[in-house]
Structure 1
Amino acid sequence: MAYTLGSAIDGKTRGVGPQHCVTRVELSVTAANLLDRDVASKSDPFCVLFHEVDGNWVELGRTETAVNNLNPVFGVKFQIVSNKKLHRPLILANGKPAGKGSITITAQELSDNRIITLTLSGRKLDKKDFFGKSDPYLEFHKRGEDDKWMLVHRTEVIKNTLDPSWKQFTVPLLSLCNGDVTRNIKVLCYDYDNDGGHDFIGEFQTTVAKMTEAQNSVQVEFECINPKKQKKKKNYKNSGIIILQFCKITRDYTFLDYILGGCQLMFTVGIDFTASNGNPREPSSLHYINPLGSNEYLAAILAVGQIIQDYDTDKMFPALGFGAQLPPDWKVSHEFAINFNPTNPFCSGVEGIAQAYSACLPQIRFYGPTNFAPIINHVARFAAQALQQEKAAQYFTLLIITDGVISDMDETRHSIVQASKLPMSIIIIGVGNADFAAMEFLDGDASMLRSNTGEEAVRDIVQFVPFRDFRNAPKETLAKSVLAELPQQVTQYFKQRNLPPTNPAPE
């Protein structure tokens, strides 16, 4: 789970470990006696988890659909920051009870950051389908404190085969065995049926200690046993073999682990000074500073910067402008220091950025076009230098504040795709009421961004937010939305490069 930046700030400023400021909790969901909403069969239920944000319910995730099942045990888990166990009767929208239906949510604190990655396949599994072979899947169960078996993970279904190969998957070690490598784990193999009446193929028991023998090209094999068949048939051997091809235990470091381990967020601001913003001396301009001493550019700088600056010890931030003519020769620049000191473009804190911005406005002429690539490449050069260190010491965040359409879209796409390989993220805040379709395109939430040559970004590093959606909201709401993806982007980058925190907390 990605921590919110606010949680991480608490941990940093108070000087405590992550376990004291945020508790990660995994939720397992089961239900019983659900209402039957289908005519010819039973209901096909699924569960959706919401959380409240500023009075609105926002979806956090949803389980798989349990076909034809009024007593589902869902395999998909949720991770949140809570630690309660809940058993609640279900109610209808009108407030009346939903029959005898109930939902049970079991929470487990993920205080151990170890994760286990497994790759499994099967060989010569029993044929269960009349017209085909089998559609096998696996379920992993652990023995709970009450001595009952509890579902931990369910693999995908592999269609029409007796020799399946399942996708590699990762689960928290606490989920699989409560962190105890000697605790028994039961693995069940089923043949999936569309009507929900899945056929049991066989099972076996093991431990994580046994599974970790599957390393360095060594495979571990388990006989899949059907106890009923074993009792009936004297010459029964097994119902197939389950092969553990790969098993590895690693540590799943969080954003907070990296920050507390010494990673600095290097913050740079890029400001759009193109003519489409309007004359800054006129109230209609987006750069016009009102009698309260603010405008949308300043509001965006302060909202985001006041949070990010807590992650940088010296609080010295480069502030760049683009799209303006500069004195004395009035040439257009798409990469200039707003303090007019190209050898030292740093401003002291967010207030220093705001002061340099206000001071430069009367000294420049707004022009164009709106080119993003130069300042993206500027920050990327420093991120590339940090990359050479091969440690999780620095991560660069570029905040671009702009009023409109990008002029150098092909160059910008190329720059972002290249920057996705570096310790770098880009936040774009659109001010004014322009058409921001191009910005939405750069934000690779719908599909991964590609350059004009077809090269795909290795990860999504762009977050776009239109300022107009937050004009009447508290500034904290804007910062929360703008910075929502940054923790995940930081951890994703360092994990892809197998870089642990520079100074990890003691085990």
Structure 2
Amino acid sequence: MAYIPGGGAPAVGAAPMGSQYCVCKVELSVSGQNLLDRDVTSKSDPFCVLFTENNGRWIEYDRTETAINNLNPAFSKKFVLDYHFEEVQKLKFALFDQDKSSTQLDEHDFLGQFSCSLGTIVSSKKITRPLLLMNDKPAGKGLITIAAQELSDNRVITLSLAGRKLDKKDLFGKSDPFLEFYKPGHDGKWMLVHRTEVIKYTLDPVWKPFTVPLVSLCDGDMEKSIQVMCYDYDNDGGHDFIGEFQTSVSQMCEARNGVPLEFECINPKKQRKKKNYKNSGIIILRSCKINRDYSFLDYILGGCQLMFTVSHEFAINFNPTNPFCSGVDGIAQAYSACLPHIRFYGPTNFSPIVNHVARFAAQATQQQTATQYFILLIITDGVISDMEETRHAVVQASKLPMSIIIVGVGNADFAAMEFLDGDSRTLRSHTGEEAARDIVQFVPFREFCNAAKETLAKAVLAELPQQVVQYFKHKNLPPTSSEPA
């Protein structure tokens, strides 16, 4: 049972647990073919945005990377969603040609879109459909292909790679190498799984470690072939091929015990032409680790308690020596009892209550276990009076097992609240220090006045599960009761 330091919180709807409420994670891979060319001197630079429908409105869910100068992109970024069998989950895939660094979609050229339900994709496993313009006319000969894979296996694999003496491909420099990982698809063709970052001006690159679901890399089959391609990056999208090799997860696992594994990077054309050809460089697998990718539910079932506080900084049960309420019923009772005895006042200072809850969260970190996570719920009708202090407090709190939910009530200007919500930018304190992660969720109540209470509850709690999981993963803390990978 969760205990609530500092008082109560509004009751929220929760779906009952049971086999009829079956949820699984689905990974969607997206590629495009014959996209419209919106650039004058080169080809389009497409990226894909996924929208989900909520109450008749399309809300951006996530977006892929940008494919430079490419009308037939295969995006390495995957969309991962919870698939609810009992719901019709409407999706819209929209492609844009990136023209500026802006995150505003109306500043990029539209290339076409396609809408369907998640169930349609899951049942077909892979679909290819024409892209449409806003007027529902064809977007030229543009097509979109979407492949679905269930992520029932929660193991993830983390790989750390480097290169040595790769071929020089640039005329006036060295190379700008990157790697691409492929697995065999259901149609027998190689399917892109992951693309590393580009390392500039070197023949001896060291790539950042990356983590992908094991089922994405090899369908959970440790013996399945994996093809690794090495390229030299070019700004115009015409990347130069350096070499390739094949391996498997079982082979890569030999690098788990601190002993690197080396693969010869082979260019078949060079190999056929040159008698003394050895290789086009060496790819070094420095480490390979397989772990479990725990979900929010894993942590809750593992014994993690969610500790809610409500602003402002007083014990809502009027018992400062024991400011705890037991469960949702205790919250509601304390809230109802206190309302007749309080009055609202200003100014609206957020930093004291943020720091107050942060002290609870800091104490919990001493246990080094995934047993407690703190959520501060702030209901406000005004702007923030201590913005600099609040920014600093939120940045410091981002290092702790803590989230902040702000519900704005009324018609005030809530721009400051939206600024704290780091969905589109990284929050910084007045000293320039970046937040370790996004922990603030802002919800304007006026947008939900005529909606069902479940809709408001869903919006208020939308980011909480991923924030909880993100913190415990960063600290390498598994659920208190879990099995090894």
Task: Decide: shared fold, TM above 0.5.
Answer: yes
Pick one of 165, 169, 174 that aligns with 2:210: 169
Residue 8 of structure 2 is matched in structure 1 by none
Residue 373 of structure 2 is matched in structure 1 by 395
Change in 2 beyond 3 A, CA 1:435/1:226: same
Q: Superposed, which structure 2 residues align to 1:253-332 within 5 Å?
A: 253-270=294-311, 322=312
Percent identical among aligned pairs is 76
Question: Higher mean Cα deviation, 349-358 or 166-175?
Answer: 349-358
Residue 413 of structure 2 is matched in structure 1 by 435
Aligned residue identity for 2:320: P
Pick one of 463, 470, 475 that aligns with 2:453: 475
CA distance in 1, matches of 2:416, 2:35: 46
Question: Higher mean Cα deviation, 372-381 or 109-118?
Answer: 372-381
SS in 2 for 1:422: coil
Residue 281 of structure 1 is matched in structure 2 by none
Q: Superposed, which structure 2 residues align to 1:363-442 within 5 Å?
A: 363-364=341-342, 366-409=344-387, 411-442=389-420
Residue 273 of structure 1 is matched in structure 2 by none
Pairwise CA distance, 1:361: 4.1
CA distance in 1, matches of 2:401, 2:164: 43
Unmatched 5+ stretches in structure 2: 1-12, 84-121
CA offset digits 1:123-150 (Å, max 9, x no partner) = 2211222233222221111123443221
Is 2:48–2:63's contact at 8 Å kept on the other side of the alignment?
A: yes
Is 1:204–1:222's contact at 8 Å kept on the other side of the alignment?
A: yes
Q: Superposed, which structure 2 residues align to 1:48-67 within 5 Å?
A: 48-67=49-68
Change in 2 beyond 3 A, CA 1:362/1:263: closer
CA distance in 2, matches of 1:93, 1:410: 43
CA distance in 2, matches of 1:90, 1:437: 36
SS in 1 for 2:278: coil
Is 2:233–2:240's contact at 8 Å kept on the other side of the alignment?
A: yes
Question: Higher mean Cα deviation, 427-436 or 231-240?
Answer: 427-436
Pairwise CA distance, 1:422: 2.6
Pick one of 153, 163, 172 that aligns with 1:112: 153
Question: Higher mean Cα deviation, 43-52 or 392-401?
Answer: 43-52
Is 2:291–2:484's contact at 8 Å kept on the other side of the alignment?
A: no
Is 1:230–1:236's contact at 8 Å kept on the other side of the alignment?
A: yes
Pairwise CA distance, 1:9: 4.7
Is 1:134–1:159's contact at 8 Å kept on the other side of the alignment?
A: yes
Pick one of 175, 184, 197 that aligns with 2:238: 197
Aligned residue identity for 2:368: E
SS in 2 for 1:189: strand
Residue 171 of structure 2 is matched in structure 1 by 130
Is 1:221–1:242's contact at 8 Å kept on the other side of the alignment?
A: yes
CA distance in 1, matches of 2:415, 2:310: 22
Pick one of 167, 181, 200 that aligns with 1:159: 200
- TM-score under structure 1 normalisation? 0.77
Pairwise CA distance, 1:254: 1.1
Tell me if 1:218 matches 2:259: yes
Is 1:261–1:505's contact at 8 Å kept on the other side of the alignment?
A: no
Pairwise CA distance, 1:368: 4.6
Residue 71 of structure 2 is matched in structure 1 by 70
Count of residues in correspondence between the two structures: 435
Task: List structure 1 runs of 4+ shifted beyond 6 angstroms.
Answer: none
CA distance in 2, matches of 1:351, 1:461: 27
Is 2:292–2:484's contact at 8 Å kept on the other side of the alignment?
A: no
CA distance in 2, matches of 1:201, 1:439: 49
Pairwise CA distance, 1:226: 0.8
Change in 2 beyond 3 A, CA 1:112/1:438: same
Aligned residue identity for 2:321: T
- TM-score under structure 2 normalisation? 0.80
Pairwise CA distance, 1:203: 0.7
Pairwise CA distance, 1:24: 1.0
Tell me if 1:47 matches 2:25: no
What value does the CA root-mean-square deviation take over the aligned residues? 3.0
Pairwise CA distance, 1:414: 4.5
Q: Highest Rg: 1 or 2?
A: 1
CA distance in 2, matches of 1:484, 1:260: 19
CA distance in 2, matches of 1:434, 1:99: 45
Change in 2 beyond 3 A, CA 1:14/1:233: same
Unmatched 5+ stretches in structure 1: 1-7, 271-321, 323-334
CA distance in 1, matches of 2:436, 2:70: 40
Aligned residue identity for 1:375: I
Question: Higher mean Cα deviation, 413-422 or 109-118?
Answer: 413-422
Q: Superposed, which structure 2 residues align to 1:12-31 within 5 Å?
A: 13-14=16-17, 21-31=22-32
